[in-house]
Amino acid sequence: MTTTTPAAGSTAASSSAQRDYVAMERMYYQHTFNRGMVLDHGEGVRVWDDAGNVYLDLVAGIATNVLGHAHPAVVKAIVDQAGQLIHTSNLYINKRQVELAEALYNVSGGMRSFFSNSGAEADEGAIKLARKYGRLHRAGAYGIISFDRSFHGRTLATTAATGQKKYQDTWQPLPPGFVQVPFNDLDAVKAATTELTAGILVEAVQGEGGIHPGTQEFMSGLRAWCDEQNLVLICDEVQAGMGRTGKFFSWEHYGIRPDITTMAKGLAGGVPIGAMLAAPRADLFEPGDHGSTFGGNPIACAAGVATVRTILDDHLLDHAAELGDYLGGKIDTLAQKYSALITSTRGVGLMRAFDLAEPRAQDIMDRALERGLLITNAGPSTMRMVPPLILRRADVDEAIEKLDAALASL
């Protein structure tokens, strides 16, 4: 651990120019992240660091700033709401919470919402609801089947549901009742189903695992299996939802409807929020079953209403599909040019990835950064791009030019 003493300052805002935030982070923040870059402000698809360098942002707070940075509709909603009512608790009805639930009811075809503060919490709520379903309708079943390479969060239950050993090993023993099977393998799901199984938790397009879309056969098969076995189907839309794939929910691509779906990340354009939506069959919570002090907070919900409205009013679903195809085509061209390094490409809408022959993701991110481009990875050998939905063709061209230069420099 470094012991560099940060430059002293009275208040953060007044003396920020003189303060060494990298040293301060090492001194005051737990070492949970390896990071060395200080971001200062953003606008649209661009962010600036504290040295004044500008970057084209294809990370978007990891699929979160769906409308880019400082979108006027989101800023106005937050400011207006802050002057009216910041927090109420859930002892009272707050108007923005109900309005956001109404908007999600409409886009989901009739699912009712429960709001939390993060994706992990939304998934926790879904797991609890599945357990309640199992208790009431499947003789006390409580088990959840999820998938290899999946990611569902960092709480203990969502870690148990996450199909990546690197997130699980240190925290054993994890809560019981979770099992993972290979993704896109319906026979494995059937073989893992027992009388204790209550539900299946799936990302229709796996995000952290490297942008792997489910096959049509698999997703329809899961729906049919849940109907046949009286299980609840939970679709985790935390990363793939909010229009990222060109549909509001990625499960819409498959013509199926889950019993429960979860959201977070982009739902409020960057303000912390999570949502767990239930179709009538699984809408079983009663007063006392679940709760949250901040969940559905007026500021988060005001930002959420503005974000959902902007996505719909500005036709960003079609735009994400179109720009996604454009970006995907450009990545394919890069893959041809660097065929020794790039082994495969894939994605849906503005959720794109390519695999590397060697574990050089960090190297590529560093070299892209030097050229003014933020991209991220999914493991050491996969690059990932999850840009704001407001991205334009000219931005894609600029990003690909920078990425090309970064790859050429390796």
Ligand X SMILES: Cc1ncc(COP(=O)(O)O)c(C=O)c1O
Residues at the contact surface with ligand X, assessed by CB under 6 A: 118-120, 123, 151-153, 203, 207-208, 236, 238-239, 264
Bridge-based pairing of strands 112-116 and 143-147 is: unpaired
| Residue whose C-alpha is closest to residue 124's, from 144, 100, 108, 96 | 144
Minimum CB–partner distance for residue 409 and ligand X (Å): 30
Minimum CB–partner distance for residue 30 and ligand X (Å): 16
Minimum CB–partner distance for residue 318 and ligand X (Å): 24
- What is the token pair recorded at 19? 């303060």
DSSP secondary structure string for all residues of 204-231: SEETTTTSEEPPHHHHHHHHHHHHHHT-
Q: Given the complex with ligand X, which of 256 and 407 has the nearer CB atom?
A: 256
Residues 6+ apart with CB under 8 A from 334: 342, 354, 400, 403, 404, 407
First to last CA, the chain: 30
Residue pointed to by tokens 């997130």 = 167
Q: How far apart are CA 30 and CA 383, in angstroms?
A: 27
Nearest-CB residue for ligand X = 119
The residues with which 41 forms a beta bridge, in sequence order, are: 48
Minimum CB–partner distance for residue 68 and ligand X (Å): 19
Q: How far apart are CA 112 and CA 303, in angstroms?
A: 19
Minimum CB–partner distance for residue 294 and ligand X (Å): 13
Q: Given the complex with ligand X, which of 119 and 134 has the nearer CB atom?
A: 119
Q: Given the complex with ligand X, which of 208 and 395 has the nearer CB atom?
A: 208
What 3-state class would DSSP assign to 263? strand
Residue 399 exposure: Cα atoms within 13 Å on the Cβ side: 28
Q: Are 122 and 326 in contact (CB under 8 A)?
A: no
Q: Given the complex with ligand X, which of 264 and 399 has the nearer CB atom?
A: 264
Q: Given the complex with ligand X, which of 207 and 270 has the nearer CB atom?
A: 207
Minimum CB–partner distance for residue 252 and ligand X (Å): 16
Q: Given the complex with ligand X, which of 254 and 342 has the nearer CB atom?
A: 254
